[in-house]
Structure 1
Amino acid sequence: MTIRHDGGSAARPAADPGVAGQVLAVGTAEAGLALRSRGRTEVTVQEVTLAPGAATGWHYHRGPLIVVVRSGTLTRLLADGTRRTAAAGTAFVEPAGRRRVHLGRNLGAEPVELLVTYLLPAGSPLSRPAAGPGRPEGGAPDSDPLWR
């Protein structure tokens, strides 16, 4: 076994035989990643699966998240009405804050599998429910496939 220390294709000699690693997910953020946290920060890694047609509901996070899409395509609706899609093999940062409410939905026929790394103020819940922007109950027209 070899462990890659430099992120490149060259591997250094193996560590002790009792050291093992397993890559859980790989995603590429085409525009790079920018993260910031303040104070005591809890780091939590969670596998999240959205079945076909499932949605997260409107929510926000108190700290940034790094999301790697392992399979499927995640469609997100952001607070400003922007729609973003993230396909398998991609990564993105979900920014923090109440003004960054968002909803994720699986509009595809296969499950969406995510590996999410949360960087949250210590003791914070992973997410907080929120009303959708401009919709007191978070509702939406039936004609919008993101909401069906």
Structure 2
Amino acid sequence: MRVVLQRVSRASVTINNKVNAEIGDGLLILLGIEEEDSGEDIKWLCSKIVKMRIFSDESGIMNNSLLDINGDAIVVSQFTLHANTKKGNRPSYIKAAKPDVAIPLYEEFVQVLEKELGKPVGTGEFGADMKVDLLNDGPVTIIIDSKRRE
């Protein structure tokens, strides 16, 4: 399971010209799911995400977590995070989980993140054509892969 965290001042997800979710200060989380991902990956990632100290304290040093600032989050499923670009110019998405595996894991990820964060989390819609708008704060962008924990 792979995530791209973007620290934002604001973010929103629009589907069919309708805003599905929007937040102020917090994280936009792009989530890529592979076939072999499990609940263990979800628990580890969600715990890591909410405790990641990437928000500035009163001295301007990144010492605060999403929990510390009572920030919000939006989770957007993005299978393209598992693109293989080694051969040719057309990415292969063979490692990305198929919907029958990915959808339940995506939904579980959102539920676990909500529990860790203690409040609702905004979402996109799995498989939909979404427009994601964000103001990256910093910019701060972090990539975390649950298969590379060392």
Range of TM-score over shorter length: under 0.3
Which one has the bigger helix percentage?
Answer: 2
TM-score computed with the length of structure 2 as normaliser: 0.27
TM-score computed with the length of structure 1 as normaliser: 0.28
Q: Which has the larger radius of gyration?
A: 1
